[in-house]
Structure 1
Amino acid sequence: MPHSAPIRLRILGSVECWDGDERVQLGGPVSERVLVTLLLEPQRVLPVHRLVEAVWDEDAPATAAHQVRKAVAELRQRIPGGRDLIVTDGPGYRAAVRPEQLDLLQFTEALRRAREHAAAGQSADAAALLREAIALWRGPVLSGNGGAVVDAASAALEERRLTAVEQLFDLRLEAGEAPELVAEIREAIGGSPLRETLRGQLMLALYRSGRQAEALAEYGTIRTVLDEELGIEPGDALRDLHQAILRNDPALAVPATAPTAPPVVTDSRSTLPYDLHDFTGREEELNKLIGFVEDATGSGPLIVAIDGMGGSGKTSLAVRAAHRLTDRYPDAQLHLDLRGYTPGEEPLSPAAAAEALLRMLGVPGERIPDDPEGRIALWRSTMIRHRMILLLDNVVDEGQVKPLLASPTGTVVLVTSRALLVDLDAAHSVSLGTMAPQDSTALIVSVIGERRAEAETEAVAELADLSGHLPLALRIAAARLRKRPRWTVRYLVDRLRDDAHRLAELSAGERSVEVTLRLSYEGLDAGYRKAFRLLGQHPGADLDVYTAAALLDMGVRDSEEVLEYLLDMHLVQQHEPGRYAFHDLVRSFAHVLSRARSSGGTGEFSDEAAGAVRRLLEFSLAASDAACDLLFPGRVRMARPESSFRPELAPLAGAEAARDWFEREQDGLLAAIALAFRRGFDREVALLAANVVFHLDLRGRLDEFLELCRTAVAAARRLDEPVLLRLSLSNLSVACWKRGRFEDGITAAVEAHQLAVDLGDRRGQAKDTGVLGLLLATTGRLDEALSRLEQSIALKRELGAERAEAESLSNISGVHMERGDFDDAVRAATRSVELARELGAVEKELVGMSDLAQIQLAMGDVEAAARTLAQARERAPGVLPPAERALQLILSAEAESRHGRWERALQWAEEALATKGLEDAPVREATVWNTAGRVFHRNGDHQRALSLHRQAHGSAARLGHRVEEAYALDGMAAALTALDEVERAAEQGAAAEAAFRAMGIPGRFRR
């Protein structure tokens, strides 16, 4: 006899079989693989040998066929109605399942219908169906443990899923979504980093969100990934998109969308609060919540738990959903505040809640039992007779809710809580974060009016940012503006910029962000409250468990448990696995708590906070030391003060892991240094900055490099510590050279060198003499530069400072080249490359190879230069800073152009000129522009050549970069001659000749 209730089977992930609300145990791995193989091809007869292959691949035992038949028999016995589900058909078996029974069939049908709706222009319906299909996916079939046959089928299904994901993103982009898509597309890329369609969608979403630079950076990322993984370039579509973003193509603009009609709310008898007329955003969460109700099966109760930090709009969302569902639940719509986080009140007990709910349903007081158990029993027996909505608001924990639930029942129960209610069995969950930026601004506009908002669109966006995109804060801020019509939006924005008083500004009547956060904080026990305050001292955007362990002064495992608990309580957030963050307003609240605990109420930070910051800095120094040792071999580390605790560091397997660590932590390290400077931790500032500048230089973040060096110098002067001052000045001189501030660099290098002499610091003397030589060379003082660099090299060689020697050899090779001493130039560059290679300093090696290629080109040995550059490009893609990569590319373009291989030459030239970050390195920028000018001149594009040389001349003249200034004049003369502007060409040529003579650069040896 067939089973009365349909069996539900799920194979898109781990295999599951459900009989109503009961999960059916299927047996061992053989049974699971047999069932899944049949379900992958429903209604198709699979012979036994095919099932044997699926279970064992090529290692089937002699008894395999017997085991398959035994597994089928067992499945038929375990699954209700199993004999009708797995049918014997001729030589094999067939899975006789209906579409509503199998998630794979539902997945396929949803995709089919989505295609039909999309073809008919019904984009919203198509998107809804794609969401439905994607939501069915829980992972690879059999969680990736199905063997070769199943895995092959799973891979094909994964491809279909990814295609559906891409189609959904396309539809959402067409509908005008952009900022809210960025995180979702990034998550999809994380699992499929080689899919160019996803990367293009991310670029478009970023571009439409006003993040053009990030969109272009994504192109560089996928290009590197494809090159490293497959050795190919991005396809035409991605390249075309990249070019369109570069030129701000109007075709990329957000398509116009039709306004949607406001929801219709029916007027029904209930105790629900009123639905906000200006409810804004949360469409995804609302649809998800209502979807749980629409798709519900079983006998209930249907429970949907909505959690989120205080002020995130949980109640507003629940109320809106309840009003939307009123027609489905006509008996009653009840709302009860359980007072879990209500100022001055204790949470309601389950018995008190039961009494309140009974009275809402009209049960007379005399019928309500006096004892708590009796009240709860009466409520439960009453509940099962009604089809109603029950909104239990402001719940403190699961214990408040569980006694109020009965089964079977037709009630939908909406629960809101600041805590993640993990022990609320069978509950669906909707977690609220902050609002999307466009929804935040829309909420403000709905309160203050379109005319007022349109007059200050930028200020409205800033107001949303400063309100942390938190609904409560947004409503308070907007309400303040509405009540003060004379205030401009900018005036309130300026008031909110003061972090110390921001929470005080976000208060209106009984509503206050600070009070809301304080209630969550005070609900913690003492240990968690202290942990919250300590973690709040971290100044960066996010932190990992190792950093948290340092702040908390505990082990990593314990720190993770603390973070996870605070995450469940929505006092920290998690945007990616393993990293935690404070909402901006929550961090402000943590700082308020720290100031409140300071001695005497002075507003200064407490000893507790100061101790956390000191541990953070000591940890950051130790961790960055470990990363720098791996990433920059051969560097010299100064002596460190003894740490006040034993920091636990993340294990780093090698240079690549160290680079990844810096990428993740760089912004947090900069924020920590800024905090340390404000708090007077000057020694830690100087020491930590000396580590961080290495990676800033490597990534081409030269403005931050320069600013950090200035901060380190100021800290060392305040500390009156000559050793640290010399180190900081030395780094500052390098930063000044890279940013084109040559006179400032010379001043810093001279002071640093004198301090090194006074201290008897020979390593310092060697470095500062070399930097001074580099600066002098750039300003055209080649003879002085040569002398300084020779002194530096001799001293570094004597000290065995091979990394530093490689740097100075690289620098002196350029001086020799400009003077026409090619043999000396080649020897210096070659030795620089050899030393860097021996040390494993790949970046230095590649820079040296660019120097060598430039010398070979100046000598006219184009073949040698091409070989050098080819080796450099293959050596370690992605290692060089952006400006050095641009130089490598433009030298490659010049070598190719001299061979007449124009397609690749022009491609590399354009890529070099478009390099993101080149604009921050004016010394290299001028060289790239001049070299590109020569390439285009050689190709006959004299107007483009003239323009590039003019750019180079303007930049070099402003900087005092005499060498490139002279080459720019020379290039302008050549381009003007080709354009028949003979008189102007003669003027520029004469100026160039005078500049070359002044520097002692002989005419026959010029580039």
Structure 2
Amino acid sequence: METWSDGSRLHLGGAIHERVLLSLLLDPERTVPVSWLVEAAWNDEPPMTATHQVRKAVADLRRRIPHGNDVIVTDGQGYRAVLDDAKLDLVEFGARTAEADRAVADGRPTDAIAALQGALALWRGRMSGLGSTALEAAATRLEERRVTAAEQVFDLCLRAGHAGGLVADLRDLAAQHPFRESLHAQLMLALYRSGRKAEALDEYRKIRELLVEELGIDPGPKLSGLYEAILREAPELDIPTAAVAEPKESAPAPTDLPEPAHIPCTLPYDVADFTGRESELSALLDCMTGGRQPHGRGRVVAIDGMGGSGKTCLTVRAAHQVTAEFPDGQLHIDLHAFTPGESPVLPAAALGSLLGALGVPGDRIPGDLGGRRALWRSQLAQRRMLLVLDNAVDAGQVYPLLPASPGCLVVVTSRERLVDLDGAEWISIGPMAPEDGTRLIEEVLGPVRTAAEPEAVQELVQLCGGLPLALRIAAARLRNRPRWTVRYLVERLHDETRRLKELSAGERSVAATLQLSYQAMDEEHRTAFRLLGLYCDANIDLYAGAALLATDTRDAEQILERLLDVHLLQQTDMAVYRFHDLVRNLARSLSSPATTHDDEMAVERLLAYYWTTTEAACAVLFPGRAQVPASITPHTGELPVFTTQAEARSWFHREHAGLVAAVELADRKGLDRYTVALTRNIVFWLSSVGRFDEFKQLSQLAVAAARRGDDLTPLGSSLSNLGVACWRLGHLDEGIQSAREGRDVATLTGDRCTESHSESMIGLLLTVQGRHDEALPHLERAITLERELGVPRAQAENLSCLSTLHMQRGAYEEAALAARQALEILRSLDYRDNHVMALTDLAFADAGQGRYAEADDHLRQARALCDASSPPGDVALALALSAEVAECLGRSAEAPALAEEALEFAAISDSPTRQAKVENLVGRLFRRRGDFHRAMALHTHAHELATGMQYRSEEAHALYGMAEAAAAFGDAEAAAAHTARAEQLFRFMGVSGQAAWCLTG
């Protein structure tokens, strides 16, 4: 499945996203229940969170598809794909086959053929590797529709008198469906009408043997009757008289034709299992057959791609398909630019071979390049020939071989784009699409083995990076080792230090193929490639490249573009580069295990660049952030400039993977001060966008690095940050432990800033656990320290925490006061995310006091501040409360849509604390609306989340909701048990029964 918008292919997500969207598109404009989507995604073994994962996948798809909210709409208990202006090939297929049916009914067979051919041209291949029984069944139905349409067009063509031109396509389709007798009947008739009676009878023999051996049956009466009719050459099998064209008077009799001359053809063998590359093959064929010769010169088509990408196979496949266009011959020569143990062929030697292939005697071939070039051009004058110059090193090797005849076509393949080959039409070959890679594995390995392990096959394609050479080697190893499973080879390939060694078979080796490209470069570019291998897990832009290579951005771009030209780098965006997975393995092997002084300096330059840039970005994004000294010398090279928060956010989003990779690089190299300092900056952004798992992982690296150092100050701040990550993820006990250790270290070192932050985290985590009396002194201590230190942003955050504590205790006036104080501070700082939460806190306090109009106004302001970069959990909370407030104000029509959107944002937030709170709020809304089944499901899941992390206030709210739903179902015993447990929790938290009742609605 492919999705395109404005000429760019969209990345939709993982397998679950694809299965969900595919399920909707298979039945457009109709509502698909969530239960069916769960079945399509996980068959009969869905996880406990399947429904929420489906909703999360829908939310992701809506964000990734332009105008996604209009394309996928919520409809009752399911979703519906609304196409409107969007184009879906499945719908177009149906429209064209319907048009064909109308044309047949109206007696317009030519129009019917055109419509069916247009429908079949949409076919890109059978859906495979879906991992879903329901979707595989749908794929089978689609295949049946395609074959039926193909049978219909073949039937119409046979009636119209076509025969020989149908044979190849009929053979292919009959081979794909060997038991479909109607296809074999059509093939037999096409062969017979083409004057190939013996082949037609042999086709019957083969299908009869297959049916008897595999199914124990004989061919049906239609096929048997056709066989008998062919044997007796029945007149009814002849081409219909009306379809036979009258012979032209000018057509020469066979005896007038000249004797055929020798037509040279040295094209290599066309591999039988060639698969995929439909778009590249189509583009190449268009260039080979549809171009015009400018100024009387022959055409040149040049194909470039990394080693092992299948350039030669593609070119040979296309060359064999256009031989009729070049009746005077087709020549191929390997110029050995990148052949192990071979030197590039000199132009004079190449011309000698080509002239010999034309039949020129050796004694007539001149010894010098000029003479051979002149003879070559004279031999090709007035000829229409195809010349394939394979594996060229540069334009200088190619130019002497170009013919002058306008009827000739030259196809050049090279690992490097020969930019100085004037007048050439270029086609670049990248990695194969995953579905094409899967088909290639199936072609080599066989359908039985690949069908047994579909997920392992997909992973194998991914590990091979879609490189045809790697895929063929992997498949060949599996074919030659029948006891190996695909999973076994996949596990071997997971070891990146041995992956390239695993991808070798006989004389073929991915490592050797790629290394030839590396060795062909000059020393400057080999050094650059090796340095890039030190940091090869993510994208690299010009600024990072300049830092790593110790140059300016202009020189860095020139070096990176050279590596791009020889396909040792790929370009993901303008001036942004990355390695292909297997090239990355090569680069890493060249950069390890020994690390030179130059390598160490390069790594430090890169890390200093990232630290300096993240400092600048954080200063723009997080005004009022406490300044922490770091023993790092700022980078003095070129840096991106951030004048707005949008620019800083965009840079963080684009460099996200690179920043994480930089921390991991610092950790691997033992550069602990960079690990700590860089992590502190990155986690500020990770927290703001809700990437809490990465937040915790990097914080753990920073804590470990800080423990190795002599200075305790970084340890205190790293432990405090780890506490924040644990809070976001609901790992409350671990968070309290980290925050307390961080506070103790900060107290010991006199780091009052970290001490206040740690006190704040302890207070917040204790609040979440419902230990309000313990939490309050920590929060008050943190606010006092922050006021003394003059860090208003941190003070505002703690006032929000204090507001939450008062809310949980039912002290709404105190909660509102703290929230207003936080707002006053944040307005002066212009810090959006905390501003959103302060407004939401104030709305909670207003709602608790029944002031719904004020709450509605504050929530409207909060939602207006949210955008695509806002933390999903914060957005979810504001939406969920907005739904409840709208219901309370009598705007019931608004509430459901806000609630559903809140649940979708909560599901993608990666924050179980936010998700539990949102699900309880929305569950309460559904209780008010009388939908107790939906309410019970939400409260039950919220209870599971809250119980697992000891989030006692939400655990109690969930229990109250479950009690009310159980009572509505008539289960008084369960209702009483849930109520008793909820009241026990509220007593533990020091909340009165009346306050508890207000809190739960």
Give the Å deviation of 1:202.
Answer: 14
CA distance in structure 2 between the partners assigned to 1:188 and 1:489 by the alignment: 30
Change (3 A) 1:240 1:974: closer
Q: Distance in 2 between matches of 1:722 and 1:850?
A: 37
- Distance in 2 (alpha carbons) for counterparts of 1:398 and 1:529: 22
Q: CA deviation at 1:594?
A: 1.8
> In the alignment, what sits opposite 2:821?
831
Say whether 1:278 aligns with 2:273.
yes
Q: Which residue, 563, 570, 591 being the options, matches 1:566?
A: 563
Q: Give the letter aligned to residue 479 of structure 1.
A: A
Which aligned pairs between 1:965-976 and structure 2 lie closer than 5 A?
965-976=955-966
User: Partners in 2 of 1:759 and 1:954 — Cα distance?
Assistant: 41
> Against the structure 1 CA distance between its residues 701 and 755, is the aligned structure 2 distance closer, same or farther, given a 3 Å change threshold?
same
Using a 3 Å threshold, how does the CA distance of structure 1 residues 608 and 515 change in structure 2: closer, same or farther? farther
Q: Find the residue that maps to 2:418 and give its secondary structure.
A: coil
Tell me, yes or no, if the aligned pair for 2:10 and 2:64 is still in contact at 8 Å.
Answer: no
* Structure 1 position 897 matched with structure 2 position 783: no
Paired position in structure 2 for 1:372? 369
Q: 1:690 aligns with which of 680, 684, 687?
A: 680
Instruction: Provide the secondary structure at the position in 2 that maps to 1:307.
Output: strand
| Contact 1:456 1:490 survives alignment (8 Å) | yes
Taking a change above 3 Å as real, the CA distance of residues 1003 and 861 of structure 1, as seen in their structure-2 partners, is farther
- Is 1:363 equivalent to 2:249 in the alignment? no
Q: Which residue of 2 aligns with 1:474?
A: 471
Q: Deviation at 1:812?
A: 0.3
Partner of 2:649: 659
CA contact (8 A) 2:759 2:779 kept: yes
Match for residue 408 of structure 1 among 402, 405, 413: 405
Q: Aligned equivalents of 1:590 and 1:541: distance in 2? A: 13
Q: Report what 2:142 is aligned to.
A: 256
Once the two structures are superposed, residues 639-677 of structure 1 have per-residue CA deviations (whole angstroms, 9 ceiling, x without a partner) of 233438523212222101111111111122112212222
Matched, 1:331 2:328: yes
Tell me, yes or no, if structure 1 residue 529 matches structure 2 residue 415. Answer: no
Residue 186 of structure 1: CA displacement?
6.8
Distance (Å, rounded) in 2 between the aligned partners of 1:975 and 1:289: 65
Share of identical aligned residues, percent? 46
Correspondence 1:75-474 to 2 at 5 A: 178=1, 181-182=2-3, 187=8, 216-221=58-63, 234-235=69-70, 243-244=79-80, 256-257=142-143, 258=146, 269-298=264-293, 299-474=296-471
Match of 2:790, as an amino acid? G
SS at match of 1:430: strand
Letter aligned with residue 243 of structure 1: Y
Deviation at 1:993, TM superposition (A): 2.0
Distance in 2 of aligned mates of 1:950 and 1:645: 52
Shift of 1:518: 1.4
Deviation by residue 1:511-562 (Cα, 9 ceiling, x = unmatched): 1111111111111111111111112222333221111111111101111111
**Alpha-carbon distance in structure 1 between the residues aligned to 2:360 and 2:485:** 53
Residues 145-178 of structure 1: CA deviation (Å, up to 9, x unaligned): xxxxxxxxxxxxxxxxxxxxxxxxxxxxxxxxx1
Do the aligned partners of residues 300 and 218 (structure 1) sit closer, same or farther apart at CA in structure 2, a change above 3 Å counting?
A: farther
1:708 alignment counterpart: 698
How far is the alpha carbon of 1:379 from its aligned partner?
Answer: 0.6
CA distance in 1 between counterparts of 2:41 and 2:428 reads 24
Equivalent residues of 2:264, 2:358 under 8 A apart: no
- Alignment partner of 1:920: what SS? coil
AA of the residue aligned to 1:965: E
Q: Give, in whole Å, the separation in 1 of the partners of 2:277 and 2:534.
A: 31
Residue 388 of structure 2: SS of its match in structure 1? strand
Aligned partner (choices 929, 935, 938) of residue 925 of structure 2 = 935
Cα distance in structure 1, aligned partners of 2:537 and 2:495: 18
Conserved in 1, the CA contact under 8 Å of 2:271 and 2:313?
yes
Distance (Å, rounded) in 1 between the aligned partners of 2:594 and 2:425: 45
SS at match of 2:534: coil
In the alignment, does 2:575 pair up with 1:578?
A: yes
Larger mean Cα displacement after TM superposition, 614-623 or 752-761: 614-623
1:949 and 2:939 aligned: yes
Secondary structure of the residue aligned to 2:448 is: helix
Q: 1:113-167: per-residue Cα shift (whole Å, max 9, x none)?
A: xxxxxxxxxxxxxxxxxxxxxxxxxxxxxxxxxxxxxxxxxxxxxxxxxxxxxxx
Do the aligned partners of residues 555 and 220 (structure 1) sit closer, same or farther apart at CA in structure 2, a change above 3 Å counting? Answer: same
Query: Offset at 1:251?
Result: 8.6
- The 8 Å contact of residues 676 and 718 in structure 2, kept in 1 or not, is answered as yes
Q: Supply the distance in 1 between the matched residues of 2:670 and 2:680 (Cα, whole angstroms).
A: 17
Helix, strand or coil for the counterpart of 1:530?
helix
Tell me: CA distance 1:491–1:200, structure 2 relative to 1, closer, same or farther (3 Å): closer
Cα pair 2:72 2:80 within 8 Å, conserved: no
Letter in 2 for 1:216: V
Task: Write the letter of the residue equivalent to 1:187.
Answer: S
Note if contact 1:634-1:801 (Cα within 8 Å) is conserved in structure 2.
yes
Identify unmatched segments of 5+ residues in structure 1.
Answer: 1-177, 191-198, 227-232, 596-602
Deviation of 1:214 (Å): 8.9
CA distance in 2, matches of 1:810, 1:839: 15
Q: What CA distance in whole angstroms lies between the structure 1 residues aligned with 2:751 and 2:896?
A: 49
Distance 1:492 1:189 in 2: 31
Cα deviation for residue 879 of structure 1 reads 4.5
Does the aligned pair in 2 maintain the 1:925–1:952 contact within 8 Å? yes
SS in 2 for 1:409: coil
Give distance in 2, aligned partners of 1:938 and 1:464.
51
Residues 47-106 of structure 1 show CA distances to partners (whole Å, capped at 9, x for unaligned) of xxxxxxxxxxxxxxxxxxxxxxxxxxxxxxxxxxxxxxxxxxxxxxxxxxxxxxxxxxxx
- Alignment coverage as a number of residue pairs: 804
Asked if 2 retains the 8 angstrom alpha-carbon contact of 1:909 and 1:932, the reply is yes
Instruction: Give the letter for the 1:308 counterpart.
Output: G
Q: Deviations over 1:165-211 (max 9, x none)?
A: xxxxxxxxxxxxx1xx3477672789xxxxxxxx9999969x99999
Q: Residues 635-646 of structure 1: matches in 2 within 5 Å?
A: 635-643=625-633, 646=636
Tell me the equivalent position of 2:666.
676
Gaps of 5+ in 2: 12-19, 27-36, 43-52, 83-131, 151-166, 173-261
1:635: Cα distance to partner? 0.9
CA contact (8 A) 2:836 2:862 kept: yes
Secondary structure, aligned partner of 1:541: coil
| Cα-to-partner distance string for 1:218-277 (whole Å, 9 max, x where unaligned) | 544379x86xxxxxx94376556992489x996996572347997799x97511110001
Supply the distance in 2 between the matched residues of 1:972 and 1:732 (Cα, whole angstroms): 34
Deviation at 1:860, TM superposition (A): 1.1
Q: SS at 1:570's partner residue?
A: coil
Partner SS for 1:798: helix
Q: Secondary structure at the match of 2:356?
A: helix
Q: Under a length normalisation based on structure 1, what TM-score does the superposition of the two structures give?
A: 0.76
Could you say which structure has the greater relative contact order, defined with CA pairs below 8 angstroms and 6 or more residues apart? 2
Bigger Cα displacement from structure 2, 609-618 vs 846-855: 609-618
Q: Which amino acid aligns with 1:288?
A: A
> Partners in 2 of 1:643 and 1:917 — Cα distance?
42
Q: How far did 1:899 drift? A: 1.6
Instruction: Indicate whether 1:617 and 2:607 are aligned.
Output: yes
Give SS of 1:647's match.
coil
Tell me how large the CA RMSD over aligned residues is. Answer: 2.9
The CA deviation string for residues 11-43 of structure 1, in whole angstroms up to 9 with x for no partner, is xxxxxxxxxxxxxxxxxxxxxxxxxxxxxxxxx
Alpha-carbon separation, structure 2, partners of 1:301 and 1:519: 31
Which residue, 792, 806, 809 being the options, matches 2:796?
Answer: 806
1:918-933 equivalences under 5 Å are 918=908, 920-933=910-923
Distance 2:667 2:80 in 1: 43
The 1:454–1:608 alpha-carbon spacing in structure 2 relative to 1, beyond 3 Å, is farther
Match status 1:797 vs 2:787: yes
